[in-house]
Amino acid sequence: MAILRKHQLAVLAVAALSGAAWAAGALDKGDTKFVENAAKAGQYEVQAGQIAASKASDPAVKAFGETLVKDHTAANDELKQFAASKSVTLPTELTHHQRSEIDKLNKLSGPEFDREFIKQTGVKDHKDTIKDFEKAAKNAKDPDLKAWAAKTAPTLRAHEDQAKGLEDQIKKNKKS
């Protein structure tokens, strides 16, 4: 009986250690949700930026679109590496709202496109994304994710600031 009990304890110990090792690579539920949302936001920014780079009538808006493509592609690549290291599968589809925004942008042209792209993608979406990144930079359980969110947030803030400047410029041009 004592031998059987020792065997059971040994099996439990191995199982506990295996579970602990697996959990070390896993992400907290909240961290996983942030990673998934950040991936969708990044994908959306790249797609919207690509549209702006080809459709914008204002050269500054076109350049801003190119900046979004470059910066968000780099951030997306970093996020993909992180997710792979944590065995997290990133979503490949945009949200319904994001798809609607992409469809809306594809239907617009000229100054109307510029205004909508800057208002929605440049200002509003970045404002929402910055909140998520700043929250993750403070509260993420995974230290690498926390550091990545903290490192990425200033770039997002710079995008928002640039978009606000473009929004003001577009409003002034409209009044002229």
- Is residue 15 in a domain? no
In angstroms, the CA 37 to CA 71 distance is 17
Whichever domain contains 79, its CATH number is: 1.20.1260.10
Q: Which tokens sit at 26?
A: 């896993």
The answer to the question of residue 156 being in a domain is yes
Task: Give the pLDDT score at 176.
Answer: 64
Is residue 2 in a domain? no
Residue 22 maps to a domain: no
pLDDT at 2: 52
Residue 6 domain-assigned (yes or no): no
69 within some domain: yes
Domain-located, residue 23: no
Residue 8 lies in a domain: no
pLDDT tens, N- to C-terminus, the chain (176 residues) = 555 444 444 444 433 433 333 344 689 999 999 999 999 999 999 999 999 999 999 999 999 999 999 999 999 999 999 999 999 999 999 999 999 999 999 999 999 999 999 999 999 999 999 999 999 999 999 999 999 999 999 999 999 999 999 999 998 887 76
Tokens linked to 116:
């909508």
Per-position DSSP letters for 95-153, written without gaps between them: -HHHHHHHHHHHH--HHHHHHHIIIIIIIIIHHHHHHHHHHHHHH-SSHHHHHHHHHHH
Residues 6+ apart with CB under 8 A from 173: 58, 111
- The residues near 113 (Cβ < 8 Å, ≥ 6 apart) are 52, 55, 56, 57, 105
Q: So what's the pLDDT on residue 7?
A: 43
Number of domains, the chain? 1
What is the domain range of residue 67? 28-175
> Tell me, what's the pLDDT at 103?
98
